[in-house]
Amino acid sequence: MVTIKIYLRTYGSDPSTGVVWLSFYVNREKVNFSTKVSVDLKNWNDKKRCVGVGDKQCNDKKLIIENILARINNVFVKYRLRDRKLTRDAFLKAYHRPTDYNTFFEFIRDYQKKESFKLEYSTFKTNLSVIKKLQEYNPNLYFDDITREWVDEYFFHLMTGLGNNQNTANKNMATIKKYVLAAYNAGYMDENPFKNWKIKKGIPGGEYLQEDELQTLMGLYMDGELDYKHHKTLEMFLFLCFSSLHIGDAKKLILEQFTDDTLTYFRMKLKKRKPFPIQVPISDPLRTLLKNIVGTRKKGIVFEKLPADQTMNRFLKEIAAIAGIEKNITHKVGRHTFATIFLRKTKDIASLKEILGHSDLKETLVYAHVLNESKQEGMQCFNCFAF
C-alpha cells in the first residue's frame, strides 16, 4: 500500500485556516494532492493528522478525506493486479476518471438506453448481438483492458476462434469501436485504442447474385409453383433486388410514394439524422412486381402481413436450395445485388451513391470490385489487334 502523508497547508492571506493536502510518490515522482477540505488551524490534530473533534463538521470532513484516500489506493491496486506500470501522469488520469461504471459493459448498457430510440430496431438488435458475443469472450471487461493489443486479439478471435468472415468481423469491430469512442470521449479511457486501427469495408464473396442467378429466381417466381409463404418471401426479395432498398425501408412503403417513373422514400437508418428524400427510378421489372403485390389498390401500405425478418431469411435459404443457388441469401443480398448489377452495367458510381442514399462516397466504394472487373473486360477489346 502506498504511504500517504496528510498535512494542513496554510496560506499567508489567512494563516488561521488551512486546506488538507496529501503527498505521496508514484514511481519516484512526487504527487501533491489537495482534498479541498478547509480546517481552522485550532481544529487540526497535527499529531494524528486529522480533523479534530472541535470542528462542527468533523465527521463529514473525515469521511471526505477517507473517500479520497480509498480512491487513491484503488488506483494503485488496479494497476498492481493488472501488472501495469503506474506513472504520475497515468495516476492523475485514472484518479480523475469517472467511477460510476465498474466495467465496460455497464457503460454500454447505460449508453444503449440513451441510444436505442435513435436507431432502427434491426440496427439496435445487431448491436446487442455484437456486445453479447464480446461479453461471452470477456465477461468482465474493464476500460483499462481495452488496448490496441486487445483490439488485435479480439479481431483474431472473431476470425479464427469463431470462424467469422472478414466482413462480419469488421462489422463487429465497427460496433465495438462506436462504444469505445463514446467511453473515451466521456473520459473513461485514457487512450483511443482504435486511433490507428483501420476497419476495412467490403462485400465477401457470395453476398450478391450474378445476373443468371437473379434470372433463375425470377423464373421461379413467375412459374407460380412455390407455396404461398415462399412466393411472398421471394416477391419481397426480388423487390429489394430491383429497388435497392433495405428491408426496413421497404416494409414502410406506401403507394402514395410512387409515381409512374419514380419511387421516393426517406431512409431512416439513423433516426437522429435529418431524413432526406431518396429517389429511385422505377424499372420495368420493379413496376411489374409492384402491380403483382398491390393488385388494384391505389393507396395504403405496399407490403401487408409479412413474416418476421428472421423467418423470411430462413425461407430465402430454402428458396435458394430449390433454385440450386449455393449462396447464403438474406435480405441484404437484394440491395447488394442491385448495386453490383447497376454498377456493372452503367459504371456510374455517382448515381449509385444517390440511389443507395449514401452520405459518403466511401460507403459506395465497397462495390468498386465491379469496376475492377470491368477494367479486365475492357482490356480484352485490344485482343483483336494481333501481331
68 near 22, Cβ under 8 Å? yes
The Cα–Cα gap between 5 and 182 comes to 37
The Cα–Cα gap between 263 and 282 comes to 7
- Check residue 375 and give its pLDDT: 67
- Check residue 220 and give its pLDDT: 96
In sequence order, what are the residues at sequence separation of 6 or more whose Cβ sits closer than 8 angstroms to the Cβ of residue 351? none
339 near 356, Cβ under 8 Å? yes
- β-strand partners of 11: 14
Q: What is the pLDDT of residues 110-131, one digit of tens each?
A: 998 887 777 777 788 889 999 9
Q: What is the pLDDT of residues 90-109, one digit of tens each?
A: 888 888 877 778 889 999 99
Give the lowest-confidence range in 196-210, 300-314, 335-349. 196-210
Rg (CA), the chain: 31
CA-to-CA separations, 279 to 209, 263, 265, 266, 334, in angstroms, rounded: 24, 6, 7, 9, 18
Q: What is the pLDDT of residues 268-287, one digit of tens each?
A: 654 555 667 899 999 999 99
Tell me which DSSP letter residue 31 carries.
E
pTM score: 0.59
325 near 241, Cβ under 8 Å? no
Give 381's Cβ-side CA count (13 Å radius). 5
Q: Which of the pair, 355 or 164, is modelled with greater confidence?
A: 355
8 near 14, Cβ under 8 Å? no
In sequence order, what are the residues at sequence separation of 6 or more whose Cβ sits closer than 8 angstroms to the Cβ of residue 26? 2, 86, 87, 88, 91
Tell me the three cell numbers of residue 205. 464473396
Residue 213 has pLDDT above 50, yes or no: yes
The Cα–Cα gap between 63 and 292 comes to 75
Q: What is the pLDDT of residues 334-345, one digit of tens each?
A: 999 999 999 999
Residue 201 has pLDDT above 70, yes or no: no
Q: Backbone dihedral region of 210: left (phi > 0), alpha (psi from -120 to 50 degrees) or beta?
A: beta
Nearest one of 96, 65, 91 to 78, comparing CA atoms: 91
Q: H-helix or E-strand containing 20?
A: strand 14-26
The Cα–Cα gap between 230 and 68 comes to 65
Look over the chain and give the mean of its residue pLDDT values, rounded to a whole number.
Answer: 88
- Check residue 314 and give its pLDDT: 95
- Check residue 168 and give its pLDDT: 86
The Cα–Cα gap between 81 and 88 comes to 18
Residue 50 has pLDDT above 60, yes or no: yes
In sequence order, what are the residues at sequence separation of 6 or more whose Cβ sits closer than 8 angstroms to the Cβ of residue 242? 283, 285, 286, 289, 338
The Cα–Cα gap between 57 and 80 comes to 35
- Check residue 154 and give its pLDDT: 94
Give CA angle at 373 (370, 375), nearest 5°: 115
The Cα–Cα gap between 342 and 286 comes to 14
Mean pLDDT of 224-237: 95
Q: What is the pLDDT of residues 231-260, one digit of tens each?
A: 999 999 999 999 999 998 999 999 999 999
208 near 181, Cβ under 8 Å? no
For the chain, give every domain's residue range.
5-96, 104-185, 211-380
Q: Which of the pair, 201 or 216, is modelled with greater confidence?
A: 216
Going by pLDDT thresholds of 50, 70 and 90, the confidence category of residue 63 is: very high
Q: Does domain 211-380 have CATH number 3.30.43.10?
A: no
Residue 139 has pLDDT above 90, yes or no: yes
The Cα–Cα gap between 386 and 375 comes to 20
Mean pLDDT of 170-198: 91
Tell me the three cell numbers of residue 15. 494563516
Tell me the three cell numbers of residue 309. 425478418
Q: H-helix or E-strand containing 61?
A: helix 58-81
In this structure, what is the dihedral angle of CA atoms 329, 331, 336, 341, given to the nearest 10 degrees? Answer: 80
- Check residue 270 and give its pLDDT: 47
Domains 104-185 and 211-380 share a fold: no
Q: Which amino acid is at 98?
A: P
Q: Which of the pair, 36 or 102, is modelled with greater confidence?
A: 36
- Check residue 377 and give its pLDDT: 66
Q: The domain 104-185: what is its CATH number?
A: 1.10.150.130
264 near 278, Cβ under 8 Å? yes
10 near 28, Cβ under 8 Å? no
